[in-house]
Amino acid sequence: MKKLLMITYPFPPNASAGAMRSERFARYLPQFGWEVDVVTIKPRQDMFKDTELLAKLGDHVRVHFTRTLDPWLWLNSKKPNNRIAKILRGLAMRLTSFPDHMFFWVPFAIRIGFKIIKEEKIDAIYTTSPPHSTQLAGLALSNLSGLPWVGDFRDPWTFNVYRRHFYKEKGIDAILTRTEKAIERSVLHSMSRILVNTEANKKNLLKAFPFLGEEKVIHLPNGWEEFPAEFYRPGKKGGPLTIVHAGTFYPQFKPYGLLYALAAWQDGEGQSAMPPLKSSDIKVILLGARDEETARIVKQLNISDFVEIRPWVALDDARKIMCQADFLWASLGTGKESGTYIPSKLFEYIAAKRPIIGFFPKGEAERLITETNTGVVFRNDDHLAAMHALWSFLQSKRIKKNFYFPNKEKINKFHISIIVKQLASSLKDLTD
């Protein structure tokens, strides 16, 4: 078997969505003739850890944990009590988060990565981001070893449309952004192959960096895989219409369309043909939504009787909960900036075989749901339309009417075995 060195900041037992793509790639690649050595960080003590995922990797995947330094996290925990201290703290936080606050992990990844290359006779290097500083580890290791290097971008780097919500194009931010763009250009030029997870991101990357060429940039979506058969046992009959949202929200992009629809129904808005909403009608479970803004919105809208916020749980437990839901909710907000993104949870939802309620603009996520016929998408925050849809779904449940008719042929094209086979083929082309 050939050997791949994988450098990834998020990886099990890290339970974040970012860890899932790398974990699946590592776990499936041995089926296509590749052993994998993974370099990742030791999990933080304050983060939820899902150790069950490590047990599934098999004998052909070895995980190497490294230390890291993160001064940004230390600075973030400090609360200055005067204006000058606040300014200095803010400047220090910006400088120690260039290109991101995980940058200080890079030397640790390079050290252990180069040791593995020499000892294991590695054939190729794979890096994945964000955090995009991980790509600098790939650049160094590729230059030191001369090995082919595949860079995977789960999100765009400097042309990420969300950057403007965090960085202003003036002062120190403008200087750092120009520097970061130059670093990105150098990184992209040095990569043997570049992977992106949506067609729109590929198009935007080629437009921003025309020197890359079509053959160098490969669209490789996240993919899905079946859950254990026992997860799909039917839930309890009757009861409220249960809607589950798995994972975190990004409040700055206004992803709360469904909650506003519930509030509109409860307040009697536009309800000429609808009865009042009762707590026994609908239950929304927010699984792992830890941000304060989401809790504030629920309280502000006075819908706590319908919404339950639960903590993180192990991935398999989350999957069981998803499989028992009537609907699965996904939202990046309906602003145009979200049009090029597909949340990785959509592939989990497809695997759960439950219909999806999506709030997305016209674009990649909306297209995935529509083409696979796995749910309904609201392209704007029309609370009345969403409210009437919820009433219709509730009525269908009461009369036991099926509302899930997926296009299995389209769905099967996104199975993880198909995706990893394409990855293995690209690696083979680089190493034969």
Over residues 256-290, the pLDDT tens digits come to: 999 999 999 988 876 667 888 888 999 999 998 88
DSSP 271-326: -TTSPPP-TTTEEEEEET---HHHHHHHHHTT-TTTEEEE----HHHHHHHHHT-S
When pLDDT is averaged across residues 186-191 and rounded to a whole number, the result is: 97
Matching fold, domains 2-223+415-431 and 229-411: yes
Quote the pLDDT of residue 168.
Answer: 61
Per residue in 44-63, pLDDT (tens digit) is: 766 666 677 788 888 999 99
Higher pLDDT, 64 or 53: 64
Quote the pLDDT of residue 152.
Answer: 98
Quote the pLDDT of residue 175.
Answer: 84
Quote the pLDDT of residue 277.
Answer: 87
Give the lowest-confidence range in 13-17, 40-44, 271-275, 337-341: 271-275
CATH number of 2-223+415-431: 3.40.50.2000
Quote the pLDDT of residue 250.
Answer: 86
Q: Which CATH superfamily is domain 229-411 in?
A: Glycogen Phosphorylase B; (3.40.50.2000)
Per residue in 296-340, pLDDT (tens digit) is: 999 999 999 999 999 988 888 999 999 999 999 999 888 888 889
Sign of CA dihedral 382, 388, 389, 391: positive
Per residue in 75-112, pLDDT (tens digit) is: 888 888 888 888 888 888 888 888 999 999 999 999 99
Q: Where are the domains of the chain?
A: 2-223+415-431, 229-411
Quote the pLDDT of residue 417.
Answer: 97
Q: Tokens representing 328?
A: 């699965």
> Percent of the chain beyond pLDDT 70?
95
**Max avg pLDDT among 55-59, 145-149, 166-170:** 145-149
Per residue in 355-384, pLDDT (tens digit) is: 999 999 999 999 999 999 999 999 988 888
Higher pLDDT, 149 or 269: 149
Quote the pLDDT of residue 49.
Answer: 65
Quote the pLDDT of residue 95.
Answer: 86
CB environment 47-82: b (16+ within 10 A), e (fewer):
ebbbeebeeebeebbebeebebebebeebeeeeeee
When pLDDT is averaged across residues 224-247 and rounded to a whole number, the result is: 88
Helix crossing, 416-431 with 17-28: angle to 10°?
Answer: 60
